[in-house]
Amino acid sequence: MAGMVLKLDRLIRLIIGLLLILLTAPILKAETYQQRYIIRVGVLSFDDANKGVYRWQPTIDYLNQRFPQYQFILITGDIKSIDQLVASGTIDFAITNGVKLLQYQSEYDAVRMLSLNPIYGEPRYAIGSTVIARSDMPDMTRWEEIKNRRIVITTPQAFGGFQIIEREWLKEGIDPIKDFTRLSFVGLPQENLLSQLANNEADIAVLPTCVLELAIKSGRFDAGQFKVIKAYPQTALPCLSSTPLYPHWTLSRMQHVHEQLAREIAQALLSIKPDDMPALQGEYRGWTVPINDKSVVELMQDIGLSDSGGHLKVLWQKYRGWLFIVMGYGLLLVGYHLRVNYLVKTRTRKLQQMMELNQASSEWLRTQQEQFYSAQRILLSGEMAAGMAHELNQPLMAINNYVVGCRMRLQQRPLDIAALDNALEQAIRQTANAKSVIQHVRFFIKRHPEKQEEICLNLVIANALSLFSNELKRGGITVAAPEAPEVVILADEILIQQVLVNLIRNALDAIKLREPLVRDPQITFEIVPSSSKATLKIRDNGVGLTETQIERLFVPFVTSKDSGLGLGMAICKRIIEAHGGRIWAESQPVGACICITLPRINGVTQ
């Protein structure tokens, strides 16, 4: 019993397995079909789509049988549609006439593979143009005789239907587009042109060779209805032609198709025999190696299709998208460049205007500053007026005494020439002293442009003190000024002297305020040189400065004097900072100490 159950179980499993295989087989087959690589073959057709499919589908079926790993698909169309498919890269192979092959080679790098072997004739002489008229029309032996006739043609791109006969017309000096005033392009199918002739809707029709004979053979038209104009003598075809014959159908591969695949397909097509179904239904005897298409090239040159601009056209069609992008970026860059140049010019002009305005403002400020400094010097000279008057009074009184003495000696006898000469010498010395005082004051007060030069700081201190020499003597004030070493700085002598005069004036005023308590009034000058700067310290033992006064010492219009303006120290600070230096006050137990630093000339010490 157990053995029977086991056998039954195995049988059930086997049946289920077979059912699964049967159910999944279509799915697997569909997946295999879907995974087959699709190859599209485009065929140029001048008849209705059904006729093109009927003629070429057996050839496609033959390729599908030979290459089961691929799925070949037939695509038929007119010239415009096939051109678009080639340009877009949709089709892989193309069966076209010789003119289209050469155009595809030039524009899309197509590669010629095989030539069709026609039923009649040779591959080199397979097609021409036939000019057909109604049989009741008069005979015509010259092409000029059809100029005023109603001429119908399928399309300007038709190889046998227009381009071949166009070459013959051009050879005789006839431009069909300009000279045939009643020329019409009526489109496909080709047999419609015969219908228009039969119905007296047209006088002349141009068709590829053998189209007329095939239409008559099919029974749709009667041979007595039509006649061929200017039949060209030839023996390759059993059909009448008005032109020489040219190669016709050609197989080509597009640039993206692999060479190995193309070689295998070419070998398969070359094996087709005349009695095989693809050849019988396709109206050909087989395929052959590519033939010489020199005649087609010459035809294209004569009708103006093979121009030097072909490569430019190819480049345009291939890269026009990128070209537009580059042109767009180029225009953006040009626009950006123009905008930047405009902004640069605008801002440069504004900057130049601001610089000119700034220069004018700086010049105005410099002038005002000079006037301000000059005004302060005049103000300081007014404060020094009493001292200068006494200083001038002393040499003037001495001169007066010497002159009076000389006058008295002139009245004495005998005349003492040596004494007179000595008195006059003393008078001259006193005159020089007075002149020196006046020159110092004039030099100090006189307005002059700023000029920085190498000056000796020790000498500037001495010149500033000379303006207060009498006042210092009268007040019994001791002055300690450094004489050596001499320190050289780069500065404007008058401005630095102005600062020192202002500081000496403040020191004298501070000493006067503390006069009852000062037993030994003094002003001390100390120069502390270093490698890059010189520090000048001016000390006095006057009333001194509080912490608040030190903090507000250089604030304009802040003063402790009853008659002061509060600008002296502010001006001093500005002058020193303009020279790259610094000025500050230090507190000390008695009096005040003002410190000044000024840059040195490479550390020069004389």
Helical spans, DSSP H, in 544-587? 547-551, 568-578
Average pLDDT over residues 374-378: 58
| pLDDT above 90 for 96 | no
Average pLDDT over residues 385-401: 63
Record the pTM: 0.44
CA-to-CA separations, 125 to 122, 231, 242, 244, 518, in angstroms, rounded = 5, 16, 14, 8, 138
Provide, rounded to the nearest whole percent, the portion of the chain with pLDDT above 90.
12
Amino acid at 141: T
Q: What is the pLDDT at residue 593?
A: 94
β-strands 93-96, 37-44 pairing = parallel
- Indicate the range of 203-212, 470-479, 562-571, 577-586 predicted with least confidence: 562-571
| pLDDT above 90 for 520 | no
Q: What is the pLDDT at residue 447?
A: 55
Instruction: Kindly state the tokens that stand for 9.
Output: 């179980």
| pLDDT above 70 for 448 | no
| pLDDT above 70 for 262 | yes
- Indicate the range of 44-53, 156-165, 450-459 predicted with least confidence: 44-53
Instruction: Mention every residue, 6+ apart, whose C-beta is less than 8 A from residue 527.
Output: 457, 458, 482, 487, 534, 535, 536
Which candidate, 346, 337, 606, 563, places its Cα nearest to that of 454? 606
Q: Is 470 helix (H, G, I), strand (E, B) or coil?
A: helix
Average pLDDT over residues 594-605: 77
Q: 524-551, pLDDT tens digit by residue?
A: 999 998 888 999 999 998 888 888 888 8
pLDDT band, very low/low/confident/very high, at 25 (cuts 50, 70, 90): very low
Q: 340-372, pLDDT tens digit by residue?
A: 999 998 888 888 888 888 888 877 777 766 666
Q: What is the pLDDT at residue 295?
A: 78
pLDDT band, very low/low/confident/very high, at 264 (cuts 50, 70, 90): very high
User: How many CB atoms are closer than 10 A to CB 536?
Assistant: 27
Q: What is the pLDDT at residue 33?
A: 40
Q: CATH 3.40.190.10 in the chain, residues? A: 36-123+250-307, 129-228
Q: 109-136, pLDDT tens digit by residue?
A: 888 888 888 887 788 887 888 899 988 8
Q: CATH 3.30.565.10 in the chain, residues? A: 451-606
Q: What is the pLDDT at residue 445?
A: 58
Q: 183 and 151 in contact (C-beta within 8 Å)?
A: yes
Instruction: Kindly state the tokens that stand for 426.
Output: 């003393």
Q: Which helix (H) or strand (E) holds 326?
A: helix 310-383
The span from the CA of 23 to the CA of 30, in Å, is 12
Q: 41 and 72 in contact (C-beta within 8 Å)?
A: yes
Residue 12 CB burial class (10 angstroms; 0-12, 13-18, ≥19)? exposed
Q: 178-227, pLDDT tens digit by residue?
A: 888 888 888 878 888 888 888 988 988 999 888 888 888 888 888 888 98
pLDDT band, very low/low/confident/very high, at 242 (cuts 50, 70, 90): confident
Q: Which helix (H) or strand (E) holds 596?
A: strand 592-605
Q: Is 97 helix (H, G, I), strand (E, B) or coil?
A: coil
pLDDT band, very low/low/confident/very high, at 30 (cuts 50, 70, 90): very low
Where would I find the beta strands (DSSP E) of 353-498?
453-456, 478-480, 487-491
Q: 47-72, pLDDT tens digit by residue?
A: 766 788 888 999 999 999 999 999 99
* DSSP 8-state assignment for residue 172: T
Q: What is the pLDDT at residue 37?
A: 86
Q: Is 180 helix (H, G, I), strand (E, B) or coil?
A: coil
* DSSP 8-state assignment for residue 552: T
The span from the CA of 92 to the CA of 111, in Å, is 11
Q: What is the pLDDT at residue 68?
A: 92
- Could you tell me the fold of the domain covering 451-606? Heat Shock Protein 90 (3.30.565)
Give the DSSP letter string of 503-542. HHHHHHHHHHHTGGG-SS-EEEEEEEE-SSEEEEEEEE-S
Q: 242 and 232 in contact (C-beta within 8 Å)?
A: yes
**Three-state secondary structure of 251-294:** EEECCCCCHHHHHHHHHHHHCCCCCCHHHHHHCEEEEECCCCCH
Choose between 387 and 134: higher pLDDT. Answer: 134
Sign, CA dihedral 422-428-434-439, equals negative
Q: What is the pLDDT at residue 5?
A: 43
CATH superfamily for 36-123+250-307 is Periplasmic binding protein-like II (3.40.190.10)
Q: What is the pLDDT at residue 373?
A: 60
| pLDDT above 90 for 552 | no
β-strands 204-208, 151-153 pairing = parallel
Q: What is the pLDDT at residue 184?
A: 87
Q: 296-344, pLDDT tens digit by residue?
A: 777 777 787 765 444 455 456 556 778 888 888 889 989 998 999 999 9
pLDDT band, very low/low/confident/very high, at 40 (cuts 50, 70, 90): very high
Average pLDDT over residues 389-398: 63
What architecture does CATH give domain 129-228?
3-Layer(aba) Sandwich (3.40)
Q: Which helix (H) or strand (E) holds 74?
A: strand 70-77
Q: What is the pLDDT at residue 1?
A: 45
Instruction: Kindly state the tokens that stand for 392.
Output: 């001038």
Provide, rounded to the nearest whole percent, the portion of the chain with pLDDT above 70.
80
Where would I find the beta strands (DSSP E) of 354-497?
453-456, 478-480, 487-491
Average pLDDT over residues 259-287: 90
| pLDDT above 60 for 26 | no
Mean pLDDT of the chain: 80
pLDDT band, very low/low/confident/very high, at 426 (cuts 50, 70, 90): confident
Helical spans, DSSP H, in 109-141? none
Instruction: Kindly state the tokens that stand for 185.
Output: 């392009």
Choose between 548 and 423: higher pLDDT. Answer: 548
